[in-house]
Amino acid sequence: MIPGPVLRACLAREWGLPGAAVAVHDGGMNSATWLVRHGTRRWVAKAVVPAAGRAFAAGLAVAAALERAGVPAGAPVPGATGTAVVRAGGYPLALLTWVPGAPLGTGAAAQRLIGATLARVHRALAGVRVAGTERFHWVDRAAGHLAVRPWVRPAVTAAVRALAGLDPDRLTWGLLHTDPAPEAFRYDPATGTCGVIDWSTALAGPLLYDLASAVMYAGGPAAGTELVAAYLDGGPLTRAEVDRGLATMLRFRWAVQADYFARRLVDGDLTGIAGTEGNEQGLAHARALLAPDHPAGPAGPGG
């Protein structure tokens, strides 16, 4: 995304790290990251696609607030001008605090830790206000890209209508992570601390959306029982709210996936993937989970 020499020059100019060792770390569908070492210290440099720059800056403000509350979150290191995000090679770039540990998996113990950590995050962010925060939700049933396949618009429309029936404004709201996949949680056995990284946006919405997203990554409601139980032990949501709305929110979460991959297909967006088949697979997976007869789809209470 950013050529090595350009990245190194930016690290020297903005963060006073001349001669820093830089290694490609990972790449997502909207970002790229590098491990940065200078002496005995290390960080993560993260760049996002230009269109995501404003949201990225707001998300990093959430990460900073979370770290002030005691949860490792990859807070940004201010650059030479005091801003969290600078431009390098045309891309928004930030230098993030290193969060020690390893990403979690999908086993029962990991699911319990994810649930407990997500609950801690939601409580820590209660009442936090961040400039540039957007409001849930963003799925437009009339969007042109939903015509990419005949099934997409009807499936997304049905999920959005089901969500409206849940009356999201009456749910418990707060700042969301929006994509709490297992790899976003980093557990450090040396300290027993679990951090949460990848704060790419500031979005206020129903906390149930984060919980549904975590359950989606766990494999659905049946596989996510330990996660939900651990969340309820320490989180701000009640059992009644979760029982009433989780299935409907999970259906909407899969509609978000369908909307996302449909847009990428129409735009020809191959960021983070080798070819179009990656977007096709994502859309096909969303279709399978949105199908009425799929066990993790809209069947069940509230669906």
When mean pLDDT is compared over 225-234, 270-279, 290-299, the highest value belongs to 225-234
Kindly report, as residue ranges, where domains of CATH 3.90.1200.10 are found in the chain.
103-290
Q: On the CB side of 80, how many CA atoms lie within 13 Å of its CA?
A: 9
Q: How many residues does the chain have?
A: 303
Average confidence (pLDDT) over 164-168: 96
Q: To 10 degrees, what angle do helices 207-218 and 225-234 make?
A: 150
- CATH T-level assignment (fold) for domain 103-290: Aminoglycoside 3'-phosphotransferase; Chain: A, domain 2 (3.90.1200)
Between CA 21 and CA 34 the distance in angstroms is 10
Across all residues in the chain, what is the average pLDDT? 92
The token pair at 223 is: 């596989």
User: Do 200 and 168 contact (CB within 8 A), yes or no?
Assistant: no
pLDDT attached to residue 26: 75
Q: Residue 300: which pLDDT band, with cuts at 50, 70 and 90?
A: very low
Q: Who contacts 256 (Cβ-Cβ below 8 Å, separation ≥6)?
A: 137, 139
User: Do 33 and 45 contact (CB within 8 A), yes or no?
Assistant: yes
User: Over 90: is that where the pLDDT of 28 sits?
Assistant: no
CATH architecture of 4-99: 2-Layer Sandwich (3.30)
Which class for 24: exposed (0-12), middle (13-18), buried (19 or more C-beta within 10 A)? exposed
User: Over 50: is that where the pLDDT of 280 sits?
Assistant: yes
User: Over 70: is that where the pLDDT of 293 sits?
Assistant: no
User: Over 50: is that where the pLDDT of 13 sits?
Assistant: yes
Residues 184-224: tens digit of each pLDDT: 999 999 999 999 999 999 999 999 999 999 999 999 999 99
Between CA 218 and CA 155 the distance in angstroms is 22
Kindly report, as residue ranges, where domains of CATH 3.30.200.20 are found in the chain.
4-99
Q: Residue 58: which pLDDT band, with cuts at 50, 70 and 90?
A: very high
Residues 61-88: tens digit of each pLDDT: 999 999 999 999 999 999 999 999 999 9
Amino acid (one-letter) located at 289? L
pLDDT attached to residue 273: 78
User: Do 161 and 251 contact (CB within 8 A), yes or no?
Assistant: no
